[in-house]
Amino acid sequence: MELQKIKHAGIITIPSLFTIGNICCGFFSILASISGNYARAGWLVFAAMALDAFDGRVARMLKAESAFGVEMDSLADLISFCAAPAFMIYFIALKGSTVWGAAIAFMFMLFGALRLAKFNVMAHAGKGSKQYFSGLPTPAAAAVLASFALSYNIFAFDADGRLLPGMHIYLPYIYNGVAFLTIGLALLMVSNIPYAAFKDGVKPAAGRRRISAAKLIGVVIVLALFFKYPQDIVFILFGSYALMGIIVMMFKAFRNIKERN
């Protein structure tokens, strides 16, 4: 009996190791931003995202889910996807551009914390959905800022790395509007706009189990570009994900107005 308890405790600990790794990445990302190493800070945020993607799955696979693990996961996300990106974007773009830079960075962190609290309350009340998130998830918002920081670090500081053709034209404009980008992401996190969760994976439709050649080619092209220009592709993908929620919301609002008339 004692041996079974020890084994069970050991199994419960395994998912927490991923969460601890998430916290570690977030902490050292903040230190890297303070020291001016934005490339390291950005990649550590992505490492935290990878660890965050596994802790819940490992817990479910080992049947080691616990209330303690859920709370730890939220605290880890607060550090890695709210505080770390806020510090990163402040030091790389907001510190010298406006007197409101610190307030904007704090707004991102605060609204991220509110987003996590809202998610936890909905989950405890059984109101969460496996198909949609209510508001932009904090990892997605963090990915937009981290990927931008990586791309701009390559552009501005002549760092090692390659930029997607054309990105060097648009990056200065994005940099000049980064305050609005950060505010927009913060507002999207606390909004009620539904965002696809992708928790159940992609299920093939009946009678269409084979992926089309065009889709396959598209996936291969995206993967090839990702391996060559990872930070730029991540910025485009997560930026498109954030915009998609706004586009869908506007389309539904327009359709409702049209139906009423």
Residue extents of the structural domains in the chain: 2-200+208-260
**Which one, of 93, 66, 80, lies nearest residue 142 by Cα?**
80
pLDDT per position as a tens digit, 248-257: 888 888 888 8
Q: What is the DSSP letter of 131?
A: S
Helices (H) and strands (E) in the chain, counts: 10, 2
pLDDT at 258: 77
C-alpha Rg value of the chain to the nearest Å: 20
* pLDDT attached to residue 229: 87
**So what's the pLDDT on residue 212?**
72
Specify whether the CB–CB gap between 130 and 171 falls below 8 A: no
Per-residue confidence (pLDDT) for residue 91, from 0 to 100: 94
The predicted pLDDT at position 11 comes to 57
Residue with tokens 């303690």: 68
pLDDT score at 105: 96
What's the whole-model pTM score?
Answer: 0.84
Tell me how far apart the alpha carbons of residues 75 and 16 are, in angstroms, rounded to a whole number: 12
What architecture does CATH give domain 2-200+208-260? Answer: Up-down Bundle (1.20)
Q: Which residues of the chain have pLDDT under 50?
A: 1, 3-10, 202, 204-207
pLDDT of residue 42: 94
